[in-house]
Amino acid sequence: MPMYGPARPVEGGLRARSERGTIGEEWWSRRFIDVLESFADKGRLSRGRAYARKGQVIDLKVDAYEVTARVQGSEAEPYDVAIGIDAIDEPTWTAIEEALASQAVFRARLLAGEMPPEIEDVFGAFGIPLFPGASGDMHLMCSCPDWGEPCKHTAAVLYLLAEAFDDDPFLILAWNGRTREDLLASLRRLDSADAAAEADPLEIEETPITERLDDFWTPAAVRDRPPAPPMPPGLLLKLLDPPKVKVRRKELTDVLRPAYEALSGLDEAEQAE
């Protein structure tokens, strides 16, 4: 392993709040650090923590699917660090947002700026890890000559990234492709759409009584009611089962049909029509 001189001091560098022990306080940042410490070289991690606590990281920026930073080492020029993750396609993000909006507890906690632990399960249902689960889930790059993954410069950035997650859990989602503003706007839009769908579809528009004075006292049952079509003669005989009664060997319905036709005032020609 190459030997390097002491790191050059940085004025105004980013410095970890934790002065000893573990870095990361909230469950989400600890989950992130636990993954990192499960596969990384312990020596490089130790030197990375020292860099993070000494303020060797000059700047750090979280964008969709990539974190970039500059870290001052022993050389005159700082090293460039980039930490990438795989992108989530737009249809999958839309489905994730709909799943989050469908659960009132998720919607309420996210709108309140909190990160519900169950959010990991929502992402997992779509085969998407909210946090990198292994070294292969992150693409670690540093301009230093150390080929370790992570090198101490990248490790320092990862530790400071965990503390940034402590301060703002929405940075995790921003790294995964959705800013706080975009996500909350989608949740509010989906919530409004659900509320509109649940509204009573039978709302009746009221008409002022001054516009209905002409027909106000008309009985509601007959107001503007179209005339009923005439009932065909013998309809009742067709609907009911014929009784087991015969008159001179004829079915009772056949005997009654002429009487129905006569009472209707229609002759045989009119019946044929």
Write b or e for each residue in 85-94: b if 16 or more Cβ atoms lie within 10 A of its Cβ, otherwise e.
beebeeeebe
Sign of the torsion angle spanned by Cα atoms 103, 105, 108, 110:
negative
User: How far is the C-alpha of 198 from the C-alpha of 201, rounded, in Å?
Assistant: 8
Average pLDDT, the chain: 81
Is a pLDDT exceeding 60 seen at residue 237? no
Mean pLDDT within 225-253: 59
Q: In what order do the strands lie in the sheet with 139-142?
A: 57-63, 66-71, 79-84, 139-142
103 pLDDT band, cuts 50/70/90, is: confident
Q: Which of 27-31, 61-65, 232-236 has the lowest mean pLDDT?
A: 232-236
Q: What is the pLDDT of residues 4-57, one digit of tens each?
A: 678 899 999 999 998 888 888 888 899 899 888 888 889 999 999 999 999 999
Confidence band, pLDDT 50/70/90 cuts, at residue 229: very low
